[in-house]
Structure 1
Amino acid sequence: MNRALEHFKYVADFQNISLAAKALELSQPALSRSLKLLEQEYGVPLFERQARGVTLTDAGKILYTRIEKIELELAYAKQELAQIKSKERTMINIGAGPAWAAYLPTALRKLSHERPDINISIISNTIDVLLPKISNGELDIALGGDDKFDEKSYQDLAFLPLTQIDTNVVVHHTHPLAQISKPDLMSMHLFPWVSLTKGEKTLKQLNLFFQRKNLRQISFQMDTDVIDYALDMLVHERAIMCSTRQMFSRLPKGEFVSLELGEPIWRHQAGVWYQPSSRNSPIVNRLIELLASVVKNIDATNREGSI
């Protein structure tokens, strides 16, 4: 990155030309000239001068965002070159929600067999939390839904759909509703509800479902990302839980029941989010290929088993 852009970013970060000049070990007039030349080059003002400092104009904000992305790309390049030079173990950072436990372990085992030199780091959270970590370079890929695809903040990211996520209603096999072939939706308001993972998005979709049926809304009694707590509520408190079909397939067979409602509570596409440039990494590229293959095979097997 050239010196003029570095000067611009320092001033934007400090919001003060004098403080930025000290940090850069430049005179204030020299820094001001550098900024003026940069504004002349782009043909737009980049800063608004104020009594106590400077703030970015709309044009300045655009340039600042692009500079951050340049710095991120340079950091990626530095990391990749260092790995080539020193032959260090390769690190891949992954974020995923609980539904991906049906697919991710198999893909990672295959990748580890192919590349035993890899270090793998995984964090679990909702896609709302994971996407900013893709943007700032903390994660290489994030696995989740496509419901953020149209948000302006993430339009520079790439999304590859891999599977369809159906969210249904699950109870313990001893639950009164499990004894009915097609439960009355109104009766579901008589029991406590549990959400696995942070439930704002699930609760919104659940209440939209009830709204379409002209029924009153519900609220979650428990919101947890610890599955043992959620299942304990189902077993002992006759609670009801929203679960994806992928998560349901991992529950003890016969112990829990997916209620027949005629349609899923919520259906959406899910897949891999990543920075387009990260596909230049052979490791990231290979993991995405393996995930696509694993998801395809597991989904096909599950469909055959349900026929």
Structure 2
Amino acid sequence: MIDVARLRVLREVARHGSFSGAAAALLFTPSAVSQHISALERTLGVPVVERSTRGVTLTESGRLLVESADTIFAELRHARERIDRLATGRTRLTVATFTSGGRRLLPDALRRFVAGHPEVEVNVVEAEPEESLPMVREGRADLALAYHFDGPLPSAGGLEWTPVMEDPMSAALPAGHPLAGRESVDLAELAADPWVIGCSKTEAFLRRYAAQAGFELKVAGSTTDYFFAQALVASGLGVGLIPRLGLDPSAADAVLVPVSPPRPARYVGIAVAGTRRSPLADAVGEALRQAAAAVR
């Protein structure tokens, strides 16, 4: 019989890549973590980690066990929630969302949802997709409002993804910029400008674009908030790339110009765990789609 507590330790080792990182997360000593992993390996009769001076990596058996552990803990958490619901008569629904989606879509969606489900206790957690999607898969959230750019959806294994909207990007320019009066702008035309970054994924996209277009991206400011980035653009610090959901309507001194086709966009959607899909999560998802339609 596999010890559930040892599975939890293995998950943390996988997450942090070291016994010391797992120990800090679990409030254990590194020696205790090592002992748990050794005991788990004796039970299975195969190694689950490879130890080296650079850290710890999972073996194929370890990866298989961690995948199973994610499902096991998600089901246990779901069972606990159902037991709590029986005991209290209250239903709890956790929604994870990225910042600009939460700011622009979630308030309207929650008004619709709460009006029809006043008995449900809603909990909202702010998290980027690389955090929110594992939360759904592990049962720590019932659904996630998330996004991806031109690459694949991160950490989507075992989840059902429903597209909600495309979130096109615009160039944000200081007032008086030579291209501020244009109907559209090619990003290559801004190659000589310093850039203000609104999130790490936007920076990654811009760096890929700059490499393909043959210029070096000059970063004058970096933030994790598009509203802040737009304010920095308005101050004249540089130019930016802002998605529709990240636009600050009060930043009147920043001029927004659509990017020429193929216009970059974020692809916004809803992620749920298919094995634990609930009518309540579906109701929130429908409310989010209606809110997105209003924004479009």
TM-score (structure 1 length as normaliser): 0.70
| Partner SS state of residue 294, structure 1 | helix
2: CA distance, partners of 1:17 / 1:235? 55
TM-align CA RMSD: 3.7
Percent identity of equivalent pairs: 18
Q: Which amino acid aligns with 1:206?
A: L
Structure 1 equivalent of residue 81 of structure 2: 79
Residues 90-169 of structure 1 aligned to structure 2 (within 5 Å): 90-146=92-148, 149=152, 153-169=155-171
User: Would you say how many aligned residue pairs link Structure 1 and Structure 2?
Assistant: 267
2: CA distance, partners of 1:18 / 1:262? 54
| Alpha-carbon spacing, 1:288–1:7, altered in 2? closer, same or farther (3 Å) | closer
Would the aligned equivalents of 2:49 and 2:62 in 1 still touch at CA under 8 Å? no
Would the aligned equivalents of 1:12 and 1:56 in 2 still touch at CA under 8 Å? no
| Partner SS state of residue 144, structure 2 | strand
Select which of 280, 283, 293 maps to 2:290.
293
Select which of 190, 194, 197 maps to 1:195.
197
Instruction: Give a deviation string over 1:166-213, Cα, whole Å, max 9, x none.
Output: 2221124443321345557565244332122x32x212322333444x
| Partner SS state of residue 220, structure 1 | strand
Structure 1 equivalent of residue 2 of structure 2: 5
1: CA distance, partners of 2:168 / 2:65? 41
Instruction: List runs of 5+ in structure 1 lacking aligned partners.
Output: 22-30, 40-44, 300-307
Structure 2 equivalent of residue 272 of structure 1: 270
Structure 1 equivalent of residue 54 of structure 2: none
Structure 2 equivalent of residue 230 of structure 1: 229
Would the aligned equivalents of 2:143 and 2:271 in 1 still touch at CA under 8 Å? yes
Would the aligned equivalents of 1:93 and 1:138 in 2 still touch at CA under 8 Å? no
Structure 1 equivalent of residue 209 of structure 2: 209
1: CA distance, partners of 2:287 / 2:92? 17
Q: Which amino acid aligns with 1:274?
A: V
| Alpha-carbon spacing, 1:139–1:217, altered in 2? closer, same or farther (3 Å) | farther
Structure 1 equivalent of residue 257 of structure 2: 259
TM-score (structure 2 length as normaliser): 0.73
CA shift, 1:287, in A, is: 0.5
CA shift, 1:158, in A, is: 2.1
Which of the two has greater helix per residue?
1
Deviates more, 1:120-129 or 1:66-75: 120-129
Structure exhibiting the larger radius of gyration computed from Cα positions: 1
| Partner SS state of residue 161, structure 1 | strand
Q: Which amino acid aligns with 1:5?
A: I
Q: Which amino acid aligns with 2:203?
A: L
1: CA distance, partners of 2:160 / 2:292? 19
Would the aligned equivalents of 2:231 and 2:251 in 1 still touch at CA under 8 Å? no
Would the aligned equivalents of 1:173 and 1:257 in 2 still touch at CA under 8 Å? yes
Q: Which amino acid aligns with 1:209?
A: Y
